[in-house]
Chains A and B, each alone.
Chain A
Amino acid sequence: MSLWEYANPAKFMATSRRPMQALGAAAAVALAVGLVWGFFFTPDDYRQGATVKIIYLHVPSALMAINGWLMMLVASLIWLIRRHHVSALAARAAAPVGMTMTLVALVTGAVWGSPMWGTWWAWDPRLTSFLILFLFYLGYIALWEAIEDPDTAADLTSVLCLVGSVFAVLSRYAVLFWNQGLHQGASLSLDAEENVADVFYFPLLVCIAGFVMLFVALVLLRTRTEVRARRLHVLTMRRRMSA
């Protein structure tokens, strides 16, 4: 019994159903508890006022935007090294979820920024890196959509994910450098972990847990869909051949 047995699509389909449902339900509960707690039962921050409530959406989604890409990177590596189809499909399934998380982080950040910084958008290093991350997701998904043969698509997107990861990290540090070059020492960033008091911290933790579980449940669901899509494709082809 090893971990790799789950790479068998049939085994994966049989085993992943219950965890997916459980995680989906748990995510719904955690998000409901965390967000209601955060929205209704936390005090206003003395500097930010009530806008501090946006943190419960912004921080978890930003976290999952980055971890989503990391998960794609690991899945791509597993596909390239061990040729497990489920892994390649999981990477494909995660991309749109990760992109949505990036978008949520960007939108909530912009909405928070408008009263706090007086602008919807600033070319702050963090904001810019997230926009770049969004572009990477976009290119990755577009490449998947463009290639017909599933194995070729899996190979090429995996290579792109690998190379893209290196460049994403490079861009992150390049952007940091670029902006410091413009505004010496002026930082607009909100560093959550540093100054968040316990009243905000616990609901935030619940929300983060909710987002993680939501992400995993969605990826499982979408991976299962991709496995079915692949099977459907094969069956249709076979039928067409015999007809």
Chain B
Amino acid sequence: MPDLGKYAAEILTAYGASAILLGGIVWASVARAARLRRRLDELEGRGRG
């Protein structure tokens, strides 16, 4: 851990908030992709069988 001096709180907040936001959009995108893919597979699998 580097010495962040008196601004440690601000820097960690900035990194934390960005991680939450970017992680949020990545997670939402991946989750929706997986959900739709599953549902599409189900539907198409049933259609063929």
User: A residues touching B (Cβ–Cβ < 8 Å)?
Assistant: 35, 39-40, 44, 49-51, 53-54, 57-58, 61, 96-97, 100, 103-104, 107-108, 111-112, 114-115, 214, 218, 221-222, 224-225, 228-229, 231-232, 235-236, 239
A24 closest partner in B (C-beta):
B26
Q: Are B33 and A111 neighbours in the complex by a CB distance under 8 Å?
A: no
27 contacts between A and B (CB under 8 A): A40-B2, A49-B5, A50-B2, A51-B10, A54-B11, A54-B14, A54-B15, A57-B14, A57-B15, A61-B18, A97-B25, A100-B21, A103-B21, A104-B18, A107-B14, A108-B14, A112-B10, A115-B7, A214-B22, A218-B26, A218-B29, A222-B33, A225-B29, A225-B33, A232-B39, A235-B40, A235-B47
Q: B18 → chain A, closest Cβ, in Å?
A: 5
CA distance A136 to B6 in the complex (A): 37
How many A-B contacts if CB must be within 8 Å? 94
Q: Are B8 and A50 neighbours in the complex by a CB distance under 8 Å?
A: yes
Q: Are B11 and A50 neighbours in the complex by a CB distance under 8 Å?
A: yes
How many residues from B make CB contacts under 8 Å with A?
31
Q: Are B32 and A225 neighbours in the complex by a CB distance under 8 Å?
A: yes
CB-contact partner of B25 in A218, A225, A235, A236, under 8 A: A218
Q: B11 → chain A, closest Cβ, in Å?
A: 5
Instruction: Give every chain B residue within 8 A of A103 (Cβ-Cβ).
Output: 21
Q: B33 → chain A, closest Cβ, in Å?
A: 4
Q: B9 → chain A, closest Cβ, in Å?
A: 9
Q: Are B14 and A111 neighbours in the complex by a CB distance under 8 Å?
A: yes
